Amino acid sequence: MGGVELLVREGVVGPLAEWREYLPMGGNAKMVEETLKLAYGEDSNLIKDKRIAAVQALSGTGACRLFADFQKRFCPDSQIYIPVPTWANIFGFLTLDFNSHHNIWRDAQVPQKTFHYYHPESRGLDFPSLMDDTKNAPNGSFFLLHACAHNPTGVDPSEEQWREISYQFKVKGHFAFFDMAYQGFASGDPERDAKSIRIFLEDGHLIGCAQSYAKNMGLYGQRVGCLSVVCEDDKQAVSVKSQLQQLARPMYSNPPLHGAHIVSTILGDPDLKKLWLREVKVVLDQLFSFLDFVLLVKEDCAVQ
């Protein structure tokens, strides 16, 4: 993110280097507010009505772990359904023992099951099996869903398929927890990449969401993320946020300062935000160009 990063670092990081205070347990309020707009919409009534409990988290992994602990504490008999495959670390690609999503809920002592997602033969979504698994799961089950740019397959449901999934979740009373680590890197448009979440909200679901700026702002080492939970009303949101903060206190006390200020500065300034949105699209175009080049080289090698 060359241009916007340079501007922000010159204007923000220098002065921040002298700052030493703690953030509140809930994190940088401005960063959280702007992050919610990316997921739920600039004019979201849920935000206006204060129905979303949200805290700054340690990137996407930290947001997932915080929610897993929340699930274990308040729904102790529940389990989590995780797609096959799902995000894995580089040492154990598609290996359950090293699979990061599995490790997060395992260490929170939440029982796990899996549901069908990818169809290797067609290199696409195994939609019939996915729907069968959601139908056969006990009512009120928790499901982990990749909001966009599914890792590691890159295969996402179509808009119509998301609507069918949302409808089935409504029928069964399932709870959807979205991991949105790559917003902007599926289509080049963060707004479009939030469509899966918006569909669930249109259907009246209460959902959870993990967001991260590691990829779409390049803030890997800053560990900037957000955990949000949509609640029945503003009073429930206050209670849920309080419990999330209590869970965070013995886990990491409070989140990092500098990265959150970088995010809040970019998203809170209309000109910087426009520049960032343009650069997200540029980066994605570069990634696709590189992929095309790799595929071309692979084909040439195969011919030779």
**Active-site amino acid positions:** 87, 179, 215
Written as six digits, the tokens of 166 are 């949302």
Rg of the chain over Cα atoms, rounded to whole angstroms, equals 19
233 in Cβ contact with 206 (< 8 Å): no
Give buried/exposed letters for 60-94 (b at 16+ CB in 10 A, else e): bbbbbbbbbbbbbeeeeeebbbbbbbbbbeeeeee
Q: Which of 203, 190, 252, 292 is nearest to 62 (CA)?
A: 252
**3-state secondary structure string across 112-135:** EEEEECEECCCCEECHHHHHHHHH
Q: Which residues contact 134 (CB under 8 A, 6 or more apart)?
A: 115, 143, 165, 168, 169, 172, 174
For residue 30, count other CB atoms closer than 10 A to its CB: 15
Would you call 218 helix, strand, or coil by DSSP? Answer: coil
**Rounded distance, CA 273 to CA 288, Å?**
23
Ordered alpha helix ranges (H), 210-269: 234-252, 258-268
Burial class (CB in 10 A: 0-12, 13-18, 19+), 199: buried
The phi and psi torsions of 72 (rounded to 5 degrees) equal -65, -40
Q: Which residues contact 121 (CB under 8 A, 6 or more apart)?
A: none
* Amino acid present at 303: V
